[in-house]
């Protein structure tokens, strides 16, 4: 749609770590990024805020952000001039809209980008089998954790998923879609095609959706990666991923007694306990059940990147690659039990 209106597309030069440098060169008016990249920018700017002022100034910043959120005001002459305008050059200062997708974005990060940069942050839902776009929010829609409404010409319905206790009668279920942009099958893979495409042309995405009272769609879970625990419960690991810390924030670790955790076993165990404690607090607040909580962690200073082939270009974990890389680690975690 943007191309038909004369928009130009800029591509980053390949290094996620330097994507803000690319923004300075490309002068984007629409900034498209996956949540993980936005999290990195958010962490960087949050550290700048913490380092640039005293407690009173930081409190003023947070109060101003809360006030803009409460009034849903993207622009505020006083707050923008005093506090927020200095951050706009980070994205080159020309951005009029931010679009994110491929994974859920946290409310904290979305609020920060929307009211610090003073532009709408839109969430989209897309899938390759539907030629890309499926649904998208707009600036005029109510705020909330949703991906907007289906794009024109695309029909979406929800199907029951009894093994996960999702019922379409209650507005929850697997997202099924049908339309002219939905594919007709996988190339030379008829059995795989039959698994996801029924005779009426409805494609089973494997995503769990929820219809909201305002007509928007939220993606709340994932069916495809569900597995069964030895005690019988079904787990969708994405819920645990949302609260899992893969690599501790270096700046945070530096402020703990565990700065030598990579070489000191006692410090490593202490840091693991701290990380698990934080994860449990967030998980409980997010409504996870006890059997969905992460019980043990392995800490690594190695980032999961596209370059080392541990994540996809949209920064989603490559399960098979990670399972192979950390096979011995996982065995060791199970062998030592789950008592902390």
pLDDT tens digits, one per residue of 146-172:
999 999 999 999 999 988 789 999 999
Instruction: Compute CA 283 distance to the chain's CA centroid, rounded to the nearest angstrom.
Output: 15
Q: What's the angle, vertex CA 263, arms to CA 275 and CA 37, rounded to 5?
A: 45
Are the C-beta atoms of 175 and 135 separated by less than 8 Å?
no
Q: What's the number of CA atoms in the CB half-sphere (13 Å) around residue 165?
A: 4
Pairing status of strand 30-33 against strand 97-100 = parallel
The Cα 340–Cα 335 span in angstroms is: 13
User: Could you tell me which residues are beta bridge partners of residue 30?
Assistant: 97
What pLDDT is attached to residue 292?
A: 77
Note the pLDDT of residue 245: 45
Q: How many CB atoms within 10 Å of residue 123?
A: 24
CATH number belonging to domain 149-222: 2.30.38.10
Q: Map tokens 């994540």 to a residue.
A: 311
pLDDT at 17: 77
Q: What is the pLDDT along the chain (340 residues), one digit of tens a residue?
A: 677 888 888 888 877 778 889 999 999 999 999 888 898 899 888 888 888 777 888 889 999 999 999 998 999 999 999 999 999 999 988 999 999 998 888 888 999 999 999 999 999 999 999 998 899 999 888 877 899 999 999 999 999 998 878 999 999 999 999 999 999 999 999 999 999 999 999 999 999 999 999 999 999 887 766 665 655 566 666 656 655 545 456 666 667 777 788 888 898 888 888 888 888 887 788 777 787 788 888 888 888 888 888 888 777 778 778 888 888 988 888 777 655 4
**Domain segments of the chain as ranges:** 3-119, 149-222, 229-335
pLDDT, one tens digit per residue, over 84-116 is: 999 999 998 899 999 999 888 888 899 999 999
Backbone φ and ψ for 65, nearest 5 degrees, come out as: -65, -45
> What residues contact residue 147 under an 8 Å CB cut-off, 6+ apart?
101, 123, 124, 125, 134, 135, 136, 137, 216, 217, 218, 219
Cα dihedral 249, 254, 255, 261 in deg (nearest 10) = 90
Are 47 and 90 spatial neighbours (Cβ–Cβ below 8 Å)? no
User: Residue 133 pairs with which residues in a beta bridge?
Assistant: 126
Q: Which residues pair with 172 in a beta bridge?
A: 210
Report angle CA 129, 185, 323 to the nearest 5 degrees.
Answer: 65
């Amino acid at each position: 749609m943007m191309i038909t209106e004369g928009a130009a597309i800029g591509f980053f030069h390949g290094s996620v770590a330097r994507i803000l440098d690319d923004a300075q060169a490309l002068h984007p008016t629409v900034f498209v990024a996956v949540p993980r990249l936005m999290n990195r920018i958010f962490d960087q700017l949050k550290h700048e805020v913490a380092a640039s002022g005293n407690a009173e100034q930081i409190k003023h910043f947070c109060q101003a952000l809360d006030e803009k959120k409460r009034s849903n005001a993207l622009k505020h002459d006083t707050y923008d001039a005093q506090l927020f305008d200095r951050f706009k050059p980070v994205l080159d200062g020309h951005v009029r809209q931010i679009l994110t997708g491929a994974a859920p974005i946290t409310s904290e990060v979305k609020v920060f980008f929307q009211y610090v940069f003073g532009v709408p942050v839109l969430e989209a839902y897309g899938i390759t089998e539907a030629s890309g776009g499926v649904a998208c929010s707009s600036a005029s829609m109510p705020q909330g954790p949703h991906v907007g409404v289906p794009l024109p010409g695309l029909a979406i319905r929800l199907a029951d998923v009894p093994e996960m206790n999702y019922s379409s009668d209650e507005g929850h279920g697997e997202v099924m879609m049908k339309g002219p942009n939905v594919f007709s099958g996988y190339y030379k893979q008829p059995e795989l095609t039959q698994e996801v495409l029924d005779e009426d042309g409805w494609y089973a995405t494997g995503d769990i959706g929820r219809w909201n009272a305002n007509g928007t769609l939220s993606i709340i879970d994932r069916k495809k990666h569900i597995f069964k625990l030895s005690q019988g419960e079904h787990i969708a690991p994405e819920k645990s991923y949302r609260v899992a810390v893969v690599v501790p924030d270096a700046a945070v670790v530096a402020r703990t007694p565990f700065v030598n955790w990579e070489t000191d076993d006692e410090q490593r165990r202490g840091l693991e306990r701290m990380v698990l404690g934080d994860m449990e607090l967030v998980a409980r607040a997010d409504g996870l059940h006890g059997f969905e909580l992460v019980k043990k962690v392995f800490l690594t200073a190695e980032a999961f990147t596209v370059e080392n082939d541990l994540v996809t270009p949209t920064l989603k974990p490559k399960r098979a690659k990670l399972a192979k890389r950390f096979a011995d680690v996982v065995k060791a975690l199970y062998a030592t039990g789950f008592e902390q």
